[in-house]
Amino acid sequence: MADLLSTAVSALSAYSRGLETTSHNIANVATDGYSRQRVLYGTREAQAYGNGWVGSGVNATSIERVYDQFLGLQYRTTTSGLGRQEVFATLAGRVSALFADADAGFGAALQRFANAVQDVAAAPTSIPARQVLLAEANSLAGELRAQDERLERLAAEVNGRVATAVSDINGIAASIAELNERIVGAQARTGQPPNDLLDERDRLVDQLSGRIAVTTVAQDDGALNVFIGTGQPLVLGPQSMPLTARPDGYDPASVRVGVATAAGFVDVTASLTGGELGGLLDVQRQVVDPARRTLGQLAVGLADAVNSQQRAGMTLSGNLGSDLFAVGGVQVLANESNAGSGSVAIARADVSQLTAADYLLELGGSGWSLRRADTGAAVAMSGSGTAADPFRADGLEFVVSGAASTGDRFLVRSTFGAASGAQALLTDPASFAAALPVRAAAAAANGGSASAASLSVVDPANPALRTTATITFTSATTYSVNGGPDSAFTAGTPIEFNGWRLVLDGSPAAGDVFTVSSNSAGLGDNRNALALVDALSGATLNGGTASVADVYGRLVADVGVQTRQAQLSRDALALVQGDARAAIDSVSGVNLDEEAANLVRLQQAYQAAAQVVRVADSLFDTLLGAIGR
């Protein structure tokens, strides 16, 4: 009877574990991240008798959770991607909305300014038309400042959210490390996995993947190591390695993410991807910062085109024109770790060659070198870096002074923030230079068919610009200026002298005379205003391949494309994540119908085992009674 009773008791114990586990499943049907559990049963070791082996019952060998790690990995991957796209689409959409309004913004302000210049060209002496032009110039500069300010505020918001995301990541990582310690201890005591703790840890890893892309590696003792980026450890067993958000080494207004070590701060910003943090970093480096650099390039290009033409013209007062626009200068930021006292002064020398890029200027063992900050590609420089012979690269001139130390670095921002300094300088309507300061006239007695096709100012600083000059053709193919030596003449080839450029059409005859003199009485002249209209639409940027409007249009298109792609990816990943969650639930989720069926089956088994106990008890009583008689 003892063996029969022992077998029945083993069944009672095993089915009791089954009932408890089923009850636990039912109780956690609504618990987020809970994986249903099941009892694994195994027969107890049979006993040998002379005529064979007799079974001795059942053991509940283990309680395992039903969990598919590959489905979990798929869910975390899609969660990380979705977290990135949600943040990117939202913030990029705000930048796109800033630029895309056809009735407001820089594009509309530029068109209004161009229209105002046209109106002045139509009525050069009209003070009201000139007042409107200056008002539109102020509006255009104000729009540049406003857009740059909005981008700057968005950048500050992104930096704040980066710091918050880093804090959240550190908190989750610390919780995972704590759970690792508890799981390892629990598994070491019992030899069995603590399922509820494993669920809690997986739930935290899922949360973490929504903030940053992670990879995990399980240890034999039950701990789970978590890595980010290109292998930077975030959790190793019971220890977490917290991230740090700190100001950039060049620009305190920017934030870098890294790890504080005994050797110093290790920057891992460039390697972090996915999740909310990855989306914030991506939108900063792919949308916000490039937009500010391009906006600055637009401001610089606009100011250069307008100011160059303005200086080449004449005002209503008969004076040469002065600059209409001002913009912010080149930013040079020294690295905080620089050991020397060197400094760098940089000027924009050729606006057409400027790129909307940042550069790193570094002093190495063989001298100064320049590379792009975004790609790291080397940029060739000419010159020696002195005031007399500055370094020259991509439209910039660099003058290095002081005692720099080897390893000293400077961040050079050729256009970043230039729009923040945009302003209109003129307040007197008469100061707009609509006329040219010189005019050309042909002598009445000229016998050839040559005529002045165009006259322009190429060097307004030339002191002899407005001094009368006489061009005399000594033959049909040669001329002299003010009786000087003969020069060859070819139709269409410009004649340059005293800072002006004259182009003749037709064929001159020997003895023909043309005079270039001061346009002192030409207040109604509109040639410089017309030249400014052409300059506004001219290809003056990106190596002479794009106008200001072209560059702005590309900026709007680029931001719009990135925003739309992020929105599409976000919507697609939301569906994929939903499918991944459904796949996990189909495997790990609690099904009440199934649990109810298990409950009935285990209840019946338990009752049957209890009945075996009664039988054993009855048989034992019968045996005792027989012996007692």
Q: Model confidence over 551-566: pLDDT tens digits? A: 999 999 999 999 999 9
pLDDT over threshold 70, residue 81: yes
Among the ranges given (1-10, 91-100, 195-204, 569-578), the one the predictor scored with the smallest mean pLDDT: 1-10
Contact 60, 40 (CB under 8 A): yes
Q: Which long-range contacts (CB under 8 A, 24 or more apart) does 214-221 make?
A: 214/76, 214/80, 221/184, 221/187, 221/188
pLDDT score, position 1: 47
**Which residues, other chains included, contact 466 with Cβ-Cβ below 8 Å and sequence gap of 6+?**
437, 438, 517, 518, 519, 520
Alpha-carbon distance of 457 to 500, in angstroms, equals 4
Contact 187, 202 (CB under 8 A): no
CB atoms within 10 A of CB 261: 10
Q: What is the pLDDT of residues 315-348, one digit of tens each?
A: 999 999 999 999 999 999 999 889 999 999 999 9
Alpha-carbon distance of 135 to 158, in angstroms, equals 34
Among the ranges given (153-157, 167-171, 484-488, 625-629), the one the predictor scored with the smallest mean pLDDT: 625-629
pLDDT over threshold 90, residue 103: no
- Please tell me whether residue 485 adopts helix, strand or coil conformation: coil
pLDDT score, position 502: 95
Place of tokens 């200056």: 134
Q: Once rounded to an integer, what is the mean pLDDT over residues 474-478?
A: 93
pTM over 0.85: yes
**Which residues, other chains included, contact 532 with Cβ-Cβ below 8 Å and sequence gap of 6+?**
117, 306, 309, 310, 313
pLDDT score, position 629: 52
**Which residues, other chains included, contact 360 with Cβ-Cβ below 8 Å and sequence gap of 6+?**
370, 371, 372, 373, 409, 410, 411, 412
pLDDT score, position 331: 94
Q: What percent of the chain has pLDDT over 90?
A: 72
Average pLDDT, the chain: 91
Q: What is the pLDDT of residues 212-271, one digit of tens each?
A: 999 999 999 999 999 998 889 999 999 999 999 999 889 888 999 998 877 778 889 989
pLDDT score, position 179: 95
Among the ranges given (117-121, 187-191, 389-393), the one the predictor scored with the smallest mean pLDDT: 187-191
Q: For residue 228, report the phi and psi dihedrals to the nearest 5 degrees.
A: -130, 170
pLDDT score, position 436: 94
pLDDT score, position 61: 87
Distances (CA, A) of 253 to 158, 159, 296, 450: 11, 8, 18, 62
Name the band, by pLDDT with cuts 50, 70 and 90, for residue 46. confident
pLDDT score, position 3: 78
Place of tokens 């391009």: 294
Alpha-carbon distance of 47 to 200, in angstroms, equals 42
Q: What is the pLDDT of residues 439-472, one digit of tens each?
A: 999 999 999 999 998 999 999 999 999 999 999 9
Two tokens at 404?
A: 């720099």
Q: Once rounded to an integer, what is the mean pLDDT over residues 23-34?
A: 91
Amino acid identity, residue 595?
E
Name the band, by pLDDT with cuts 50, 70 and 90, for residue 543. confident
Name the band, by pLDDT with cuts 50, 70 and 90, for residue 48. confident
Residue 267: exposure state from Cβ atoms within 10 A (0-12, 13-18, ≥19): middle
Q: Domain residues of the chain, as ranges?
A: 2-66+589-628, 71-285+546-581, 436-521
Residues β-bridged to residue 392? 382, 397
Amino acid identity, residue 145?
R
pLDDT score, position 544: 85
Q: What is the pLDDT of residues 581-622, one digit of tens each?
A: 999 988 988 999 998 998 999 889 888 888 888 887 777 767
> DSSP code of 597?
H
Alpha-carbon distance of 29 to 37, in angstroms, equals 11
Alpha-carbon distance of 40 to 495, in angstroms, equals 99
